[in-house]
Amino acid sequence: METRSRFVLLTHPKEYRRQKTGTGRLARLNLASCEVLPGIAFDDHPRVRELVGDPSRRCFLLYPSPDAIDLGASGGVGPFGNELEGRDIAVFLIDSTWACARAVLRESPALSRLPRLRFAPREPSRWKIKRQPRDYCLSTIETIHELLCAFESMGLDSYPDKGRLLEAFAAMQDYQIARARASGKPRFMRREPAFTPASNPE
């Protein structure tokens, strides 16, 4: 699926080695403008430097902080102010646990100085085979879905097939659940909590 926005998944090695629930890989397989870069320190990564230096794109880091641009703050392109100036968006997402994400930021000070984005998810995570620590925690593929919905609502991108990423995510989990049941030792958890959106982690 083609999108104007580019999504760059900075994947911690611990996450990169995981094969069963790597939703970043699943996103890359479904989106033409999505790429995965494994590592911890990214300031000198050639691809990161290329994207940050591309005059046709404005790069952002998806990471909650008090000064992050809240994509749900207002309609239109208002949340971005004059940040875009007609350029397309490139979003860096740290694809890892929160602890590993902090390690990536420590080792990538220039990356951490990029303008940041945040959003409050409209729905809780659709994970069925693992638990999320907080209501605002989503899988990588769900996060990209939310970003595309937000960008489309602002007129910054087109997201014609809104079911594609979520259907791929569901199919991946259903396959794993079926395999676990077939083995006679199902080891998945289902979580269906009450949900209250939260825009910032502690």
Rounded to the nearest integer, the mean pLDDT of the chain is 86
pLDDT at position 187 is 60
Query: Which pLDDT tens digit goes with each residue over 124-134?
Result: 899 888 877 77
Q: What CATH number should be reported for the domain whose range is 6-121+136-160?
A: 3.40.1280
Query: Which pLDDT tens digit goes with each residue over 58-98?
Result: 999 999 899 999 998 755 566 887 889 889 999 999 988 87
For the beta sheet containing 116-118, the strands, ordered from the edge strand earlier in sequence to the opposite edge, are 34-38, 6-11, 88-95, 57-62, 116-118, 69-70
Predicted structure pTM score: 0.86
Would you call 36 helix, strand, or coil by DSSP? strand
What does the alpha-carbon distance between residue 104 and residue 109 come to, in Å, rounded to a whole number?
A: 9
Domain ranges of the chain: 6-121+136-160
